[in-house]
Chain A
Amino acid sequence: MKIVASDIDDLALGAVFLATGGGGDPYLPALIAKQTLVQTDGVTLIAPEALRDEDFVVPIGGVGAPTVSLELLPSVDEASQVLDRYERLMGRSIAAVASFEIGGGNSLMPLMAAAVRGVPVVDGDGMGRAFPEAQMMSYAIAGVTPTPALAMDYAGNTATFETADTVTYEHHIRAFAAAAGGMITVAEHPMSGAELKASVISGTVSFSLKLGQLLRKQRGPINQLMPALRALFNESVYGAIHQIFSGKVASISTRTVGGYDVGDLSIQDFHDPNAVCSITIKNEYLVAMVDGRPLAMVPDLIVIVDAETAAPINAERLHYGQRVAVLAIGAPEFYQTPQALAATQPRCFGIDLDYQALAELVPSDN
């Protein structure tokens, strides 16, 4: 399958949905991706199974503050140069490029880099959504080490990393990002084809595209869209999708703490003002509760959409009075495993709550 320029807007829309409130505005990456795919005549998307076990696969993406990219602009050259340097560092040639996360702007950079280099991009990613930290990636959870890693800044300066563990790597890469202008392009988690197959959340790129197409073509009240969304998610790597609440935004408070957007959101039922859904935010929507009872929690996906258009709304765009619906989607099976939950359950975000699967929390009426 080939991804071409005309797919990018739908892919970006799907990526905002799967970003579960985080991920930033994909406007600039989408614009650059379109331009790149016009010049390169598209990029080949390959299923993980199509890779040979001995193939060399590298995930690539941006690390840092999306706000900085608004001034320095994302760069295709930077992305393809990172791959060149990485091949030199590792002494191997790259068979395919993979993505850190399908949520937000980072889903588009691997497409551009792969298009310029003429290599395929893997249909899948390392999260199936957006997460804030490297140790939450499926690659890391499956035991792939993040290093050797190579990062490049806007001026072509590079740094390479060899760290003892993923958490240390995360600290060091963030420090380099801050020192190098706020946003860097990184190749990390080098893998064999066999390792990738064991750790990737498969099919998420083509899924995000289908999701975006659906949201665009059937734009309208979420209630009308739910049957089509259910059908789409039922045939995916994800669990079932449920509409767990709808109402108007009654309050939203976020502030930046340690580089994260942290806050709380409450949504009031349209008909019963005493029924309130509260959502904990740390870049992404992490836990949804009603009356002190959890309805959905990380790593299951919580998505907020406009009730009238079904357009996904990320956390920085929420404001008082918006009419919204809260959707919850079961995380891919990979994230239901004990090792994955150990890295991504609510306690990993400082929330004192035992993980309960979405399937146990919502009635299986759909």
Chain B
Amino acid sequence: MRIGLDVGGTHTDAVLMDGTTVVARTKATTTADVASGIEAALRVILAECDPAAVDLLTIGTTQFTNAVIERKQLSKVAAVRVCLPAGRGLMPRSDWPEDLVKSTDGGSYLLHGGHLYDGRELAPLDDAEVTALIRSLNDAKPAAVIVSCAFSPTQPALEMALVDRLRAALPDTPICPSHQIGGLGLIERENAAILNAALLAFADRVANAFTGSSSRLGLRCPVYVSQNDGTLITLERLRHYPALTFASGPTNSIRGAWALTGLSDAIVIDIGGTTSDIGVLKNGFPRQSNLVIDVGGIRTNFRMPDVLATGLGGGSLVSDDGRTCGPQSVARELRQKALCFGGDVMTLTDIAVSRGRLAISDAAVTSPVTEALCDIVDETILAKLNAAVDQMKPGGAILPVILVGGGAALVPGDNLAGCPIVRPDNADVANAIGASIAQVSGEAEMLHVASKQSRSEVVELVTARAETAAVSAGAAADTLSTINVEALDIPYMAAETTRIRVTVVGDLDDPSKRAS
């Protein structure tokens, strides 16, 4: 059996899964130290089963996103950019909020080297520069170093050559190559790598806390963490790539919707207290966004699920005429302010309670809103969600809409934007169920110049790289399958050039074998 845990800002949810069956479930409050909330949730679950029967513990956590947003737990990072004579236009950490520069700045260095779009060398590494860099780093002693090299996502060799030399010279300092964190876009990739490196020390503490909690509760199984694309990474990998968990909140809900329904192509709406987050399932995985992603005020190019947030949730304020719902929300104060709890603010929860769609056992008032007003509000909700769902439909296709999250009951009716609504059981713990899915992935990308190679050759090459990455992440080699081949045309290039990216997924190399 597997345990899935989802540590959110408010709740820590846990489920015990036997295959696709939910055996036990609980919602605990997320605590300031996180660990005691996790242990409280695990204790409830382990009351239902013998710790020895648990093969796998998987955790989705928003701790690292919160650390960046709150500027806490961050350490100093030296940024080494290998790009000269190009790449002088902007120094690392340009356009960052000042407080984040202050908490992460461990120096910036520009060196000669890198590649061009067609794979040619931009410049070779300069030995004297590397020696001087090592001397400077030895003096400055940053907590971590990142290396970002022009076109390293398509040509990683030179970036790795410098990383290897730095690792040999500074054996106690983590040295992070940027191409393992982000794709093309030097500034965004460098930003992503710096954020990741600034979280490494915290990642060690979190990983140790996870191991500590699970062993205190008698679990002997491996512990994994869920990452942005909806697959798992080991705690060892978390210690190197904490930033890969930045989007695990929305990702786990989308994956949970897949696990709950078996629908591999669908639209998923996770309805919370303040927003409805709309994502898309494609081959059982969240559809990824190709846009730059803002994390704590910083532009990054992390691969994150394409999610459209619209201001509708259980705490959304409803105007007196019922024509406006959200985006303002009472959020966590629902139980103090909402009409049904004896407060004086009309929220979407009050509408759902009045309609009988939502039963709240300790509600003070069971129908605080008139029938006529409810009719209007339902129209308002539907208009807002219809428009949002319509935007997310891939090419306008009719797909099922799966409602998950604590606020799923807020949505009236049986279709949105012409798509049939699916309301699975256990929808309110979809995120924890999503975290419990035992699959791992690997990804690779390359620029393809039409005149130089055939497209199929390049796809084959990139797929092989992605497969290697998946196996090294823990996938069983005989379960690998390609879930996404993406080709992005690059405009304004005289020779027809395409960016090809392949994602491969496999089942986690059977954790129960290890347990038995």
Chain A residues with CB under 8 Å of chain B are 24, 27-28, 31-32, 35, 64-68, 70-77, 154-156, 174-175, 177-178, 181-182, 248, 250-251, 254-261, 283, 316-317, 319-323
A328–B515 alpha-carbon span in the complex (Å): 67
A256 in contact with B86 (CB, 8 Å): no
Q: Which of B87, B117, B387 has a CB less than 8 Å from the CB of A73?
A: B87
Query: Can you list 19 pairs linking A and B with CB atoms under 8 Å apart?
Result: A24-B492, A32-B90, A64-B492, A70-B187, A70-B188, A71-B117, A73-B83, A73-B186, A73-B187, A154-B85, A154-B122, A174-B494, A178-B493, A182-B117, A250-B396, A251-B396, A254-B489, A256-B497, A261-B489
Instruction: Give the shortest distance, in Å, between B276 (CB) and chain A (any CB).
Output: 16
Instruction: Give the shortest distance, in Å, between B148 (CB) and chain A (any CB).
Output: 10
Contacts of B491 in A (CB 8 A): 65-67, 256, 259-261, 283, 316
Most chain A CB atoms below 10 A, which of B117, B151, B396? B117
B184 in contact with A67 (CB, 8 Å): yes
Q: A71-B184, A73-B187 are in contact. Are A182 and B85 (CB under 8 A)?
A: no
Mostly helix, strand, loop or mixed at chain A's interface? mixed
Contacts of B497 in A (CB 8 A): 65, 256
Instruction: Give the shortest distance, in Å, between B170 (CB) and chain A (any CB).
Output: 26
Counting CB contacts under 8 A, is B390 at the interface?
yes
Q: A74-B89, A175-B494 are in contact. Are A28 and B122 (CB under 8 A)?
A: no
B86 in contact with A251 (CB, 8 Å): no
Q: Within B148-200, which residues are at the interface with A (CB < 8 Å)?
A: 150-151, 184-188
A256 in contact with B489 (CB, 8 Å): yes
Contacts of A74 in B (CB 8 A): 89
Instruction: Give the shortest distance, in Å, between A221 (CB) and chain B (any CB).
Output: 14
Interface size on B, residues (CB 8 A): 41
A31 in contact with B122 (CB, 8 Å): no
Q: Which of B83, B291, B493 has a CB less than 8 Å from the CB of A182?
A: B493
A300–B184 alpha-carbon span in the complex (Å): 35
Interface pairs A-B: 4 shortest CB-CB: A321-B391, A256-B489, A154-B86, A73-B89
Q: Within B281-336, which residues are at the interface with A (CB < 8 Å)?
A: 291, 299
Instruction: Give the shortest distance, in Å, between A3 (CB) and chain B (any CB).
Output: 19
Instruction: Give the shortest distance, in Å, between A250 (CB) and chain B (any CB).
Output: 7
Q: Which of B185, B299, B396, B498 has a CB less than 8 Å from the CB of A321?
A: B396
A72 in contact with B86 (CB, 8 Å): yes
A322–B122 alpha-carbon span in the complex (Å): 40
Q: A70-B186, A71-B117 are in contact. Are A320 and B391 (CB under 8 A)?
A: yes
Counting CB contacts under 8 A, is B220 at the interface?
no
Q: Within B58-105, which residues are at the interface with A (CB < 8 Å)?
A: 83, 85-90, 94-95
A256 in contact with B117 (CB, 8 Å): no
A72–B390 alpha-carbon span in the complex (Å): 38
A254–B493 alpha-carbon span in the complex (Å): 15
B184 in contact with A321 (CB, 8 Å): no
Contacts of A177 in B (CB 8 A): 494
Counting CB contacts under 8 A, is B490 at the interface?
yes
Q: Mark B482-509, 1 if CB is under 8 A from A, else 0.
A: 0000000111111111100000000000
Known: A35-B90, A72-B83, A260-B491. 14 other contacts (CB 8 A): A65-B492, A73-B90, A75-B88, A155-B85, A155-B122, A155-B123, A175-B494, A178-B495, A181-B116, A256-B490, A256-B491, A256-B496, A256-B498, A261-B489
Instruction: Give the shortest distance, in Å, between A21 (CB) and chain B (any CB).
Output: 11
Chain B residues with CB under 8 Å of chain A are 83, 85-90, 94-95, 116-118, 122-123, 150-151, 184-188, 291, 299, 387, 390-396, 489-498
A71–B155 alpha-carbon span in the complex (Å): 12
Most chain A CB atoms below 10 A, which of B85, B491, B495? B491
Q: Which of A24, A71, A72, A320 has a CB less than 8 Å from the CB of B395?
A: A320
Contacts of B492 in A (CB 8 A): 24, 64-67, 259-260, 283
Question: What residue of chain A has the Cβ atom nearest to residue B116's Cβ?
Answer: A181
A144–B169 alpha-carbon span in the complex (Å): 58
Question: What residue of chain B has the Cβ atom nearest to residue A308's Cβ?
Answer: B387
Contacts of A322 in B (CB 8 A): 391
Contacts of B391 in A (CB 8 A): 319-323
Contacts of B94 in A (CB 8 A): 31, 35
Q: A72-B86, A154-B122 are in contact. Are A251 and B395 (CB under 8 A)?
A: yes
B85 in contact with A71 (CB, 8 Å): no
A61–B162 alpha-carbon span in the complex (Å): 34
Instruction: Give the shortest distance, in Å, between A68 (CB) and chain B (any CB).
Output: 5
Instruction: Give the shortest distance, in Å, between B116 (CB) and chain A (any CB).
Output: 5
B184 in contact with A70 (CB, 8 Å): yes
Most chain A CB atoms below 10 A, which of B87, B89, B116, B185? B89
A259 in contact with B494 (CB, 8 Å): yes
A248 in contact with B116 (CB, 8 Å): no
B90 in contact with A31 (CB, 8 Å): yes
B387 in contact with A323 (CB, 8 Å): yes
B86 in contact with A73 (CB, 8 Å): yes
Contacts of B396 in A (CB 8 A): 250-251, 320-321
A28 in contact with B390 (CB, 8 Å): no
A129–B336 alpha-carbon span in the complex (Å): 55
Question: What residue of chain B has the Cβ atom nearest to residue A22's Cβ?
Answer: B491
A76 in contact with B89 (CB, 8 Å): yes
A6–B491 alpha-carbon span in the complex (Å): 30
Instruction: Give the shortest distance, in Å, between A73 (CB) and chain B (any CB).
Output: 4
Q: Which of B122, B184, B291 has a CB less than 8 Å from the CB of A181?
A: B122
A72 in contact with B489 (CB, 8 Å): no
